[in-house]
Amino acid sequence: MRENQQEQEDFPGADRRSDIGNNAPRSSPTVVENANPPASVNGIPHLTRRSFLMWVGSSGAATALPASALAAPMATAVPVTMDPGLVNVRLTVNDVVRDAQVDVRTSLLDYLRENLQLTGTKKGCDHGQCGACTVHVNGRRVNSCLSLVAMHEGDSVTTIEGLGTPDRLHPLQAAFVAHDGLQCGYCTAGQIMSAAALLTEPCGRADADVKEAMSGNICRCGAYSNIVAAIRQVRDAG
């Protein structure tokens, strides 16, 4: 009761609670009843819970708070030096040390293509199903679309650009050309990177073993027999 009286003193005309209780017809809603802040003592608003919510909600009263009230929380704010969503990473790509500040969600594939413009590595499915994104990490083949670059601090990455150059082709690159191991070429970088890793893996000599070892690399053009022939040539020469 006493609180209700206090609210009416704070907000003349704020008698809606009693209106609800006795079903008396309401007067037209007014939007100006809280336009003025409630009474204050020594510059600090004297607020009940209800009057505070009404005051802030209807008048945007934060702008009317004393400057000291606004300044207090800002004085304790900690300066932000780095977006918490970013991370520093250093890795070696094709024998070049790279430092980067990347979003923690960045895949190794996107880092190579978007940050370093090494677009020889292709994005096919982006779900680890096609092998178009295959690169070497510390000598082992990985699907770069499934790996976060932030996990490769200190690692050594090799892409198709680091395997050979147009003037100095890797034996597998030359063999793919010689055997027409490609049609559209979209899968080819991934095929060659997988094949290059296969050369160092414990893979049987039969074509069936090669096909099994290369089964993670899809060729939508169906150049499989020529790809196997190219790999066989390099293995036999080695």
What DSSP string describes 140-180?
Answer: EEEEGGGSBGGGGTT-EEE-HHHH-BTTB--HHHHHHHHTT
User: Looking at 88, 129, 138, 225, which residue binds ligand FES (CB under 6 A)?
Assistant: 129
Cβ distance 66 to 43 under 8 Å? Answer: yes
For residue 26, give the DSSP letter.
Answer: P
The residue from 38, 45, 120, 124 that contacts ligand FES (CB under 6 A) is 124
159 close to 94: Cβ distance less than 8 angstroms: yes
N- to C-terminal Cα distance for the chain?
97
- Between 188-198 and 171-178, two packed helices, what is the crossing angle to 10 degrees? 130
Of the residues 94, 104, 115, 128, which one makes contact with ligand FES according to CB under 6 A? 128
Instruction: Please state, in angstroms and rounded to a whole number, the distance separating the CA atoms of residues 195 and 152.
Output: 22
Q: Tell me which residues in 144-163 interact with ligand FES (CB under 6 A).
A: 145
Q: Which of 19, 53, 220, 225 is the binder for ligand FES (CB under 6 A)?
A: 220
Least distance (Å) between residue 176 CB and ligand FES: 10
Least separation, in Å, of the C-beta of 224 and ligand FES? 9
Q: Which residues pair with 135 in a beta bridge?
A: 142
What is the DSSP code (8-state) at residue 116? S
Smallest separation (angstroms) from ligand FES to the CB of 65: 54
Interface segment toward ligand FES; rule CB under 6 A; list 7-15, 85-93, 123-131, 152-160: 123-131
* 37 lies in the binding site for ligand FES (CB under 6 A): no
Q: How far is the CB of 124 from ligand FES (least distance, A)?
A: 4
Q: Which of 135, 189, 140 is nearest to 159 (CA)?
A: 135
- Which of 55, 131, 173, 234 touches ligand FES (CB under 6 A)? 131
Q: Which part of the chain contacts ligand FES (CB under 6 A), choosing from 12-20, 34-42, 204-212, 215-223?
A: 215-223
Q: Between residues 109 and 163, which has the closer beta carbon with respect to ligand FES?
A: 109
**Residues lying near ligand FES in the complex (CB under 6 A):** 123-126, 128-133, 143, 145, 182-188, 219-221, 223
